[in-house]
Structure 1
Amino acid sequence: MVTMSESEVDDVVPDLEAILRQCIAAIPPGRVTTCGALAELLGDRQAARWVGTWLVEHTHLEECACHRVVRVGGRLGRSGIGADVQRDLLRREGVAVLPGGVSEEAIIGPQELASLLGIEDEDRPLRKLRAIQEDLRKKVIITPLPADPKDCAGVDVSYRGQWAVAVYCRVSWPGGEKLYETSVVERARFPYITSYLAFRELSPMLSVIRKAAREDQLADVIAVDGSGLLHPRGMGIASHLGVVIDRPTIGITKTLLCGQMEQKELLPGGTLAVEWEGRHLGVVLRSQRGHAQPVFLSVGHRIDVEGCVRVIRPLFAQHRLPDPIYWADRLSRALARQLK
């Protein structure tokens, strides 16, 4: 069922926290850098938000040089040790700290820092992950379902600290009767960074799908709480998962990550086309029961847009999300709350 081994999936996921610590340790005394520069060093400026969050929440070690990371423009206050301590440490190292922040001369950019670390452009971890996404995108198959499914499953992941709880919920099609559900808990190995969700959630999703497969509960179609081809690089978690397990998958989200939608009134049960890069890859779908807020469907793998709509449209009950995703989301959140 799964075409990529568990070790292969784990091997491509870098220890981004360890790499970030190495980058921060390379900042020489008397100099500082920014979250954005560190994100560029990791391979994508979109990681700047995570870098900032990590600085506030990380376990501060005695040898940690996190005080050498400042905000845009040299402003203090990004480190979890507090602005006052950060100011004192920087001044001891000879950094001129002005009322508005550190002097511009003290700020080291990503290229200079990369040179100090000996990191080439192709070595940056997020750049490597983008290359994997771009390669997998070529393997996505867009095709009509060979027949109506007999069932559909939803998979979702919730978190409690460093722990990920993945839930798989299988329902009948088109009736939506809940037939089976199961879960797994494992340590999250990758942070949340926009457009890299698959590298955070693929491992727990595969674990729970393997568990369902061992119990002969694998559904004909799997709906995923995340984007499919409606993704900046055309490889959201639904498509990534679909290619790895080589099974029909559908991406379902509450917001549109990318693409352009038709500007028309959306009636209950209706759809509006969503295009990305000139291709019709998804729809906005409102439940037939008339929930005020719609959802966004996108092709994952081994299905087409019409198939996505046909499979998901009958599976709405009283909720905004279709039942397989609603139940997987609800149970994963409940189990995550129980973790210590």
Structure 2
Amino acid sequence: MDPRIREHAEILVDWSARVEAGDDVVIDVAEGAHDLGVAVAAVLGERGATPLATYGSAELERAYATAHSGEFTEPTHERALYERADSVLRLGGGRNTAENAGIPPATQTAHRQAREAVREARYATDWVSTVHPTRSLAQQAGMAYADYREFVYDAILRDWSSLADEMSRLKDLLDAGSEVRIRNEGTDLQLAIDGRTAVNSCASVAYDSHNLPSGEVFTAPYATEGHVTFDVPMTVRGEPVRDVRLTFEEGTVTGVTAAQGEQVIREVLDTDEGARRLGELGVGMNRGIDRVTDNILFDEKMAGTVHLALGRAYDANLSDGESGNESAVHVDLITDMRGDSQLEIDGETVQEDGIFRWE
């Protein structure tokens, strides 16, 4: 076994999930992530935790969704599993990255809505999502498998403590700020952020961060005005999308166009009322991610990018008792800030052409 798989597992268990002796841990292992699952199980055994493995297969999910009548009910047994767990570790890496393509949008929406309580139960644990490098992901990224493995481990096997210190600079600025303005070619967008708490997402639940790799600072905006062009190509619900342009008025999407995939974006917007508002503003800061790979887990963390999510806001950004944007979806879209661009907080330029003022 590649020794980097063991190192990946140790970072996931110790730094990211902060698993302790006696913890009950659910490991959701994707079809291609078996080797990482074995390494994680070994580390959990050494730490004195109790694992339970589930099989995360997109093929199984597709078979179920397409065969179903469409009137989905809540899987209460799965919710009960998460309600009893201390941590949930999701190890991604399937056989086919487009497995969900072609499932009717109404079916996907109904299935997602029926699982909302399950998602909330999982979010209440110390959950972390990561990915094992597979050939299907390498193919999606347009890379040779060996090169893709190097890319993945460059993004994951980092000095996360040092990166957390650097990212705290941006968190402090966002926490003290009232308005963010994003400007690049095709984008001039203002977002209110006062009263919200930014998350220093350095791949650890100790920082309210739940992805490995991570390397972003994010907050929950509101009162969005203006327009934004998402020029980083990506896949949404198994469909390719490119050059999505959204117009916002009084916080709500009022216009949408796209060079490719406009219909799937419209389907996302039609999920519910909250899907037409933003739940997240995130700024990528992981310089170990140096190229687009059509995998949101990596692409949204790439230094020199900003991503905005339609739909659900995260509780970590909200004050106690405050309700943020609610939705059954959370769909990230990315704009490249490495060209002629400015990221401003309360009128002061914090980043220009993808470079922060302290770099």
Q: TM-score range by the shorter chain?
A: under 0.3
Q: Which has the higher relative contact order, 1 or 2, with Cα contacts under 8 A spaced 6 or more apart?
A: 1
Structure ranking higher in strand proportion: 2
Could you tell me the TM-score, scaled by structure 1's length?
Answer: 0.27
Structure ranking higher in helix proportion: 1
Could you tell me the TM-score, scaled by structure 2's length?
Answer: 0.26
